Amino acid sequence: MSAHISAVCRTGFFQLSQLRTIHRLLTPDLTCALVQAFVRCRLDYCNSLLAGVADVHLRRLQSLLQNAAALLVSDTRHHDHITLILATLHRLPVRERVTFKTAVLVWKCLHDVAPRYLVNLCVPTAATAGRRQSRSAVPGALMVPRTRTLTSQLSFAVYGPRTWNRLPPVLRLPELSPSSFKRQLKTHLFQH
């Protein structure tokens, strides 16, 4: 993933440098739209594949792209505190954005709006024989398959249910609509 992250950083930073030269001529809304089109879409594209990637790589995405894009959109200086700027712009840091995308994908699996091959990987513990009376059968929890290698722990079959099980029980309620789930999940991730 290092080569992929380097390519995303390189192209995204090029786009930011191009926008930086003309951003004084643009309205704030247009600047935000262009940053979304050229930079944030690169950060969000298939970012659930970045689950479990080393922090050194995610920090590059965070500092080189997301922080620089937030500074450009908010029209602030480099020495201002970036956490407050990201919170003002309602932008999750890269690590939390990966968690957000993974949890939304698991929610789609549980509500049967994801592809069948992904739906089959998200098995509730209550639906598993022999788990109904055990303590691990927490309502809304998913079965996490056992693995032997580190790379298999990064697959969606393991990382997805593990991410889902770490969510608070109020977010795992089946009656949540997609918009309320995303809103509450984003609030939860901002608080942590």
117: left (phi over 0), alpha (psi -120 to 50) or beta: alpha
User: Out of 51-60, 104-113, 182-191, which region has the weakest mean confidence (pLDDT)?
Assistant: 51-60
Closest CA to 97 of 74, 66, 60: 66
For 148-172, what is the mean pLDDT? 85
Task: Please count the CA atoms within 13 angstroms of the CA of 153 that sit on its side-chain side.
Answer: 7
- Give the pLDDT confidence of 69-91 residue by residue, as tens digits: 888 888 777 666 777 677 667 77
pLDDT at 185: 92
Q: Is the dihedral of CA 78, 98, 177, 41 positive or negative?
A: positive
Helix (H, G, I), strand (E, B) or coil at 26: coil
The letter for the amino acid at 116 is: R
pTM score, two decimals? 0.80
Q: At what angle do helices 94-110 and 178-191 cross, to 10 degrees?
A: 150
Query: Measured between alpha carbons, how far is 50 from 58 in angstroms, rounded to an integer?
Result: 8
Do residues 182 and 104 touch, judged by C-beta distance below 8 A? yes
**Which residues pair with residue 124 across a beta bridge?**
142
pLDDT at 93: 84
Do residues 91 and 70 touch, judged by C-beta distance below 8 A? yes
